[in-house]
Structure 1
């Protein structure tokens, strides 16, 4: 699933490409929004809130969540002045926003400006609502690591409300803090030296853990390649099952983790069957040597 930095970049790209333009045509391929047409409205901008993305058009907001495979593309024109060809199949498009070229104050097309279209492919959620109703989609979220409302102390306080919980699931809970996914969870806890199965109450320096997550997301939000280590070897533990730890050479462990424990603890099953578990659990990676299991 795309993490907070991915959604932030897509929102930034949409904001740069669309803001100030007038909509020529829209097509929303979700039942509740299928008949809505925002043609003639002005695009005010786009922004991310955690893993949610909003595009404000006229008095309405287009809300989307990428879920597992969603992505927004922006297309201009080709060398002949015709709309550029999409890089994905038309059957994958869930939202299309076509916008006119930008105009100057006198209504003349600006030099170099041409029509664009923003296309949302494989979006997990799509809603078109009055802008004043945006909050209903994000009111449950904790502080957004990449947002103007970021508050480290509040995020820590939220996590500590359930001291018996494992830190791994707690970091993924968007009600605690918004933006972290499985990749940043794995990398954050490795750099903090904390086993994801540690209980919240036992983690010796929880503010430092949250601060590391914030530093990683902010460092990567404008990068096309997510890096927590080096460009050649970008990630410390995520996706490196059974490979040697870069620090101690111990094989990296992968397991599915939820509030009920690891796959084996919950179901009494062997590692090769973990992929069959329900989607409540999420993949977790750790070094069994560098990361300490803290329990009270």
Structure 2
């Protein structure tokens, strides 16, 4: 699942491409939105909220109220932006990524939004819906403070984390109701940097405020990078992470072999268990 910094960059790029531009084409490729057409409407802004993207279209007269295109990338989603080759004629026909304009298979496109200069295509989106502003606010009201949001509130994030002190910190960090923006890569890296095993109860985590502060710093440091690094090293390969995906390789701090397991969330029995990685020496299992 994309991390909060990825969603932040997607919103920034979409805002730069679409904000203030009237749509010359609008093609929703999901059955429930097949008749929706915003051609002629101007995009006001694109805003991230945790891992959600909100594309705002202001009202256009009493007959056309304000609308929000709400998307969530889930595990596979991505928004791509392409130039329009002919500014007077939006691209038509299939685009496969094999010699065509699009870098991803056309059958995975869920929505195509065209302006005079650019085309924004949402591929494999986990959520795609059109909402009123009130509905859009309700869709994200459960989220905790956004690590990359203008209203970030570390004290509120800590209050929410402390609300269930027996919950494993590895599950609490992934819970977007506690703080929004952490995915599985950051979950594992933060636990390593804090020296705690992901199964450590929140109430037993030493210096939890420092862990929350570090989460904020890591996402801020990576939000403008196309490739993230949590180590301060090169943003590529094994050098970019401490433990994530490095099972069986030596810990960069102590040389012990990194271990791997799956962690299920009892509160979400329908969700597949997620990968956890840890150093058995630097992150001893709780007794």
TM-score (norm 2): 0.88
Instruction: Identify the residue that residue 95 of structure 2 maps to in structure 1.
Output: none
Relative to 1, partners in 2 of residues 1:25 and 1:77: Cα closer, same or farther, differing over 3 Å?
closer
Find the aligned partners of 2:20 and 2:180 in 1 and give their Cα distance.
29
Alignment of 1:191-210 (within 5 A): 191-210=193-212
Instruction: Identify the residue that residue 287 of structure 1 maps to in structure 2.
Output: 279
Q: Are the equivalent residues in 1 in contact too, given 2:168–2:199 (CA < 8 A)?
A: yes
Relative to 1, partners in 2 of residues 1:81 and 1:39: Cα closer, same or farther, differing over 3 Å?
closer
Instruction: Identify the residue that residue 180 of structure 2 maps to in structure 1.
Output: 178
Instruction: Identify the residue that residue 96 of structure 2 maps to in structure 1.
Output: none
Q: Are the equivalent residues in 2 in contact too, given 1:243–1:251 (CA < 8 A)?
A: yes
CA drift at 1:257: 1.1
Relative to 1, partners in 2 of residues 1:79 and 1:31: Cα closer, same or farther, differing over 3 Å?
closer
Aligned residues between the structures: 266
Find the aligned partners of 1:260 and 1:279 in 2 and give their Cα distance.
9
Find the aligned partners of 1:24 and 1:81 in 2 and give their Cα distance.
9
Q: Are the equivalent residues in 2 in contact too, given 1:145–1:214 (CA < 8 A)?
A: yes
Instruction: Identify the residue that residue 68 of structure 1 maps to in structure 2.
Output: 75
Q: Are the equivalent residues in 1 in contact too, given 2:242–2:251 (CA < 8 A)?
A: yes
CA drift at 1:94: 0.2
| Ranges in structure 2 where 5+ consecutive residues have no aligned partner | 59-65, 92-99
CA drift at 1:90: 1.3
SS of aligned partner of 1:88: coil
Alignment of 1:1-296 (within 5 A): 1-58=1-58, 59-78=66-85, 83=91, 85-100=101-116, 115-229=117-231, 230-231=233-234, 233-260=239-266, 279-294=271-286
SS of aligned partner of 2:240: coil
Alignment root-mean-square deviation, CA: 2.0
| Ranges in structure 1 where 5+ consecutive residues have no aligned partner | 101-114, 262-276
Find the aligned partners of 1:203 and 1:191 in 2 and give their Cα distance.
12
Instruction: Identify the residue that residue 265 of structure 1 maps to in structure 2.
Output: none
Instruction: Identify the residue that residue 103 of structure 1 maps to in structure 2.
Output: none
Find the aligned partners of 1:171 and 1:36 in 2 and give their Cα distance.
37
SS of aligned partner of 1:23: coil
TM-score (norm 1): 0.85
Q: Deviations over 1:79-125 (max 9, x none)?
A: 9997581112211100111113xxxxxxxxxxxxxx21100011111
Structure 1 residue ranges, 4+ long, deviating more than 6 angstroms after superposition: 79-82
